[in-house]
Structures are given as structure tokens and as C-alpha cells.
Structure 1
Amino acid sequence: MTRDRFLPIHDPELLAAGERVLGAEFRAMSERVLAVSALTSRLNLLPFDDEAGRAALLEEILGRPLPRRLTIYPPFYTDHGLRLELGERVFVNQGCTFLDFAG
């Protein structure tokens, strides 16, 4: 499945036909959501004891180093990741979904 299937609103033919097409900001957000969906899919497939692998993917999702005493048990989901603020001594149990862009 290609990314174009998820972003038909940016079709040049629609724009030429005078249809309302959302701009670059929407496209950037859409690309981020797709990228984070791929990262969380990888994260949730890791063996539970692969703490280093989990930390590396979470840092990529959040866009910064993890606090030393943050615990996140997969499966974990977020739509964007860059707007999440998770500090020291935070525990996120299995199955949590954060909608940091949508909300």
C-alpha cells in the first residue's frame, strides 16, 4: 500500500478542478502520523525484554531522549509523538493511546 492512497486530498487534479485542498501543514502532519504509525508498529512487535530497542524507537517517536525513569509497556500508540511530555517516574501501562496531535 502506498502513502499516496492515504493522502488523496493533495491530488493536483482536484486542485485544478477547484476542489478545496488542504495545504503543506496538513500534508506534513499526515506524513508524521504515517511515520509514527510505522514506528509504533515496530515498537509493538519487539520482544518485551528488548529495553534498548524499545528506548531507541520511543526516542524516535518522541523526538528527544527519554527520561531515565520512564516506563512504557507496549502496546503503545500515538498519532504524532512530538507533543507528548513524559517526565521522570511516569508509568504508561499496556494498551495506552495518546492522541497528542488530534486533541
Structure 2
Amino acid sequence: MTTIRSLSGFNKRLEAAEHKLIVLEFYATWSAPCKDIDEAVKALARQNVDKAEVIQINVDKFEDLVDTYRVRSKPTFVFIKNKRNIYRVNGADEEKLKHTLFELCK
């Protein structure tokens, strides 16, 4: 799991992922739902480290990415494979997040 610190760092992570599933987690430090699901996201990232890469993006620091990925709620999880957006989960729905990650990592 990686927390983005710069836009160039974000682009490098996307390029380095190659054919891995990428999960962009758009979060806010002040958001209760983001805090509530944080440990579950970390656990999922550890369990799927060989199949998927979770990239955390602070919505208050990267507004351009928020606009690009049309993030309207926090947290929002955007799933990318082969540089294409293939799915998204809006909100702190741990079961939906687990199920989606499992299905897309097959």
C-alpha cells in the first residue's frame, strides 16, 4: 500500500504496476467513514500484495485527481486494470470492497 505524495509519484506507481490490479483509495483524514474502513483496507492490501496494489490519495491534496476520477464521496475506491477504470466502490462498504477485490483478482 502506498500513499501518494506527488502527482509524479502517482504516475510512476501507475506505470510500475504493469498488469496488476490497482485500487485507488480516495480518502480524507477528517472523514469518519475513511477512518472506519482504514484498518480493513490495510489488511486487504497485505492479503493481496501479489495481485493488487492499493494507492491512497488524500482528496484535500490532489484535487486534480479527484476531478479526473470523478470522486464525489469519501472514501471512493477506483479499480484499474491495464490502465482502464473497470469498477468503483463508493463509501465505506467493507464487504463490497472485499468481494470486488476478490472477484477482480481472479
- By the TM > 0.5 criterion, same fold? no
Q: Quick one: higher RCO (CA 8 Å, sep 6+), 1 or 2?
A: 2
Which of the pair is proportionally richer in strand? 2
What's the TM-score once normalised by structure 2's chain length?
A: 0.28
Whose Rg is larger? 1
Which of the pair is proportionally richer in helix? 1
